[in-house]
Amino acid sequence: MFRSSTFSINSLSAAKISGRFINVSPIFFQRATKQTPSFTKSITTSVMTEQKTEQKTLTHADENINPKTIELLNKQDKYTINTYNRPPIVLTKGKGCWVYDLADRKFLDFSAGIAVNALGHADAELASVIADQATKLIHLSNLYHNEYAGELAELLVNITKEGGGFEAARVFFSNSGTEANEGALKFARKWGKQVSKEGKEKYGVISYNNAFHGRTMGALSATPSPKYQAPFSPLVPGFVHSIYNDIEKIPEVVNENTCAVIVEPIQGEGGVWVATVDFLKALRKRCDEVNALLIFDEIQCGLGRTGKLWAHQHLPKSCHPDILTLAKPLANGFPIGAIITTEKVANIIKIGDHGTTFGGNPLACRAALSVVRRINTPELLSNVNSVGDYLVNEFKRLASKYPSLITNIRGKGLILGIQFTVDPTPLIGLARERGLLLITASNQTVRIIPPLILKKEEAQHGVKIIEEIVDIFDKQRSN
Ligand SMILES: Cc1ncc(COP(=O)(O)O)c(C=O)c1O
């Protein structure tokens, strides 16, 4: 049972230190309490009287919020357009798989900036590459050539082909995943115009339930979730949604009017759902029949996360795409995305068709060169496989220990989903207050996407915390 009081001792003393906090904090707290179950818990100082062990392991309690943190949270609350539901910590530095907050508390990071920090935080080699390039050229625009964009494109094309990936030929650099998809959709629309039969319209784009392709209007139109789409309708015309892994529906939805199908080989945000080989084979076959492009969005599942460079390298050639989009870990957190295409797609894109001010800048490309070379090594990829296997086995063990809570473990390498029978959101706060950063995905899933350099001992530490919080959650539910 919970016993509650209104403020924690620490947050109350912080309130006394900062006069401004007294005025502003009720609004901040009100918003936070509405949105964050775990924060509600911290400011009502919920105390588990019956479970002393739970208190003992609460090493990073939200209620230990310090005055500087409160000051920064209040500024954020007052001056930014808040579209995120964030916990009351301010992170200031990192090292490897760990991040530190303002109070110098250390958290093990199982979220990696949403599958971004493949090489972990504050990587010394990358920091020196970025620092060196920053003293030379950060940005030029695409009006001029730089030393690194061509080299990065060559590397991406070559390692894709050498590693058994699709017939990559050319690359366009963007600044984010959404922008990579947006560009890929534009390429597909142009493809549709070029190959459509006289008088026929060919602009349909097919995407799938639980997909996430981004938040700009084109990418959003391919992201069929009412929570993302409804406030911004009407969306771009011509987008049709179908059911992931449903082979029977393919001939009906993918037809002569279709210019492209966009699909994640492993869906990330939607709950870590893995496409079947038969589904992707059938999509490839149907795209060939109707002359539509197949776009694989590997923004979350690509670049080493599944234990191979690309998720589609686990698949036979008969599944492979015409376009691949990537971003997230490409420069380990420095913003950059890319569209890789086959020669036939690249050939239809002409000067002036697409553009970007920042995309392909020397700093991002040089950083990405260094990151991609380090991700695409047998050592790192084998680490993903071995630590991933360890985690899968441990999560399966938890599933058999808590069968009424955990029903399935999905994913590959270090993109894993733990399927819960109830909304697992409270687990995120319970984990954070024990020094572990976890995130959820849709469909009652906890998503495990740590840095790819995660060590076995770090994985063990994370599992220990996860087991403990699942146990607490299970007991809370039955009380
Ligand atoms: C599969 C996938 N596509 C696209 C995006 C959008 O990428 P970004 O947030 O870099 O714009 C994401 C982001 O989570 C993603 O997971």
Q: Please classify residue 26 by burial: count the beta carbons closer than 10 Å to its beta carbon, then call 0-12 exposed, 13-18 middle and 19+ buried.
A: exposed
Q: Is the pLDDT of residue 245 over 50?
A: yes
Per-residue pLDDT tens over the stretch 213-230: 999 999 999 999 999 999
Residue nearest to atom 3 of ligand 1 (CA): 213
Question: How remote is the CA of residue 213 from the centroid of ligand 1, in Å?
Answer: 6
Q: Please classify residue 145 by burial: count the beta carbons closer than 10 Å to its beta carbon, then call 0-12 exposed, 13-18 middle and 19+ buried.
A: exposed
Q: Who has greater pLDDT, 186 or 478?
A: 186
Determine the topology of domain 127-376 in CATH. Answer: Aspartate Aminotransferase; domain 2 (3.40.640)
**φ, ψ at 425 (rounded to 5°):** -50, -40
The pLDDT value recorded for residue 2 is: 28
Question: How remote is the CA of residue 451 from the centroid of ligand 1, in Å?
Answer: 17
Q: Which among 299, 339, 356 is the best mutation to test ligand 1's pocket, defined by most ligand atoms within 8 Å of the CB?
A: 299
Question: How remote is the CA of residue 301 from the centroid of ligand 1, in Å?
Answer: 10
Question: How remote is the CA of residue 297 from the centroid of ligand 1, in Å?
Answer: 9
Average pLDDT over residues 124-141: 98
The pLDDT value recorded for residue 289 is: 98
| Share of the chain residues as helix, strand and coil, in percent rounded to the nearest 5 | 45, 15, 40
| Short-list 35, 31, 354, 357, CA closest to 191 | 354
Question: How remote is the CA of residue 178 from the centroid of ligand 1, in Å?
Answer: 6
Question: How remote is the CA of residue 212 from the centroid of ligand 1, in Å?
Answer: 7
Contact 254, 290 (CB under 8 A): yes
Cβ–ligand 1 distance for 442 under 6 Å, the answer: no
Cβ–ligand 1 distance for 181 under 6 Å, the answer: yes
| Short-list 114, 307, 304, 72, CA closest to 214 | 114
Q: Is the pLDDT of residue 24 over 50?
A: no
CA dihedral sign, ordered 400, 405, 411, 414: negative
Question: How remote is the CA of residue 179 from the centroid of ligand 1, in Å?
Answer: 9
Per-residue pLDDT tens over the stretch 357-372: 999 999 999 999 999 9
The pLDDT value recorded for residue 290 is: 98
Percent of the chain with pLDDT strictly greater than 70: 89
Torsion, CA 56, CA 60, CA 61, CA 67, rounded to 10:
140
Q: Is the pLDDT of residue 253 over 70?
A: yes
Residues of the chain with CATH 3.40.640.10: 127-376
The pLDDT value recorded for residue 478 is: 83
Atom of ligand 1 nearest to the CA of 181: 4
Q: Is the pLDDT of residue 208 over 70?
A: yes
**Mean pLDDT (the chain, rounded):** 90
Q: Who has greater pLDDT, 14 or 341?
A: 341
The pLDDT value recorded for residue 53 is: 62
Whole-prediction pTM:
0.91
Average pLDDT over residues 388-402: 98
Average pLDDT over residues 147-171: 98
Cβ–ligand 1 distance for 223 under 6 Å, the answer: no
Average pLDDT over residues 234-252: 98
The pLDDT value recorded for residue 56 is: 72
Q: Which among 179, 213, 298 is the best mutation to test ligand 1's pocket, defined by most ligand atoms within 8 Å of the CB?
A: 213
Question: How remote is the CA of residue 192 from the centroid of ligand 1, in Å?
Answer: 24
Cβ–ligand 1 distance for 376 under 6 Å, the answer: no
Q: Which among 328, 330, 339, 449 is the best mutation to test ligand 1's pocket, defined by most ligand atoms within 8 Å of the CB?
A: 328
DSSP H helices in 376-455: 378-401, 425-432
- Which residue type is seen at 4? S
Q: Which helix (H) or strand (E) holds 266?
A: strand 266-267
Question: How remote is the CA of residue 177 from the centroid of ligand 1, in Å?
Answer: 5
Question: How remote is the CA of residue 214 from the centroid of ligand 1, in Å?
Answer: 5
* Residue keyed to tokens 């958290």: 107
The pLDDT value recorded for residue 15 is: 35
The pLDDT value recorded for residue 29 is: 41
Distance CA 445, CA 432 (A): 17
Q: How confident is the model at residue 281 (pLDDT cuts 50, 70, 90)?
A: very high
Distance CA 28, CA 79 (A): 12
Average pLDDT over residues 75-81: 95
Per mean pLDDT, which range of 47-51, 277-281, 307-311 is the poorest? 47-51
Buried b (16+ CB within 10 A) or exposed e, 33-62: eeebebbbbbbbbbbbeebeebeebbebbb
Distance CA 64, CA 73 (A): 14
The pLDDT value recorded for residue 421 is: 98
The pLDDT value recorded for residue 33 is: 38
Q: How confident is the model at residue 49 (pLDDT cuts 50, 70, 90)?
A: very low
Cβ–ligand 1 distance for 212 under 6 Å, the answer: yes
Q: Which among 209, 212, 336, 445 is the best mutation to test ligand 1's pocket, defined by most ligand atoms within 8 Å of the CB?
A: 212
Contact 283, 294 (CB under 8 A): yes
Cβ–ligand 1 distance for 207 under 6 Å, the answer: no
Cβ–ligand 1 distance for 300 under 6 Å, the answer: yes
Q: How confident is the model at residue 52 (pLDDT cuts 50, 70, 90)?
A: low
Which of 57-61, 66-70, 290-294 shows the highest mean pLDDT?
290-294
Atom of ligand 1 nearest to the CA of 214: 6
Question: How remote is the CA of residue 42 from the centroid of ligand 1, in Å?
Answer: 31
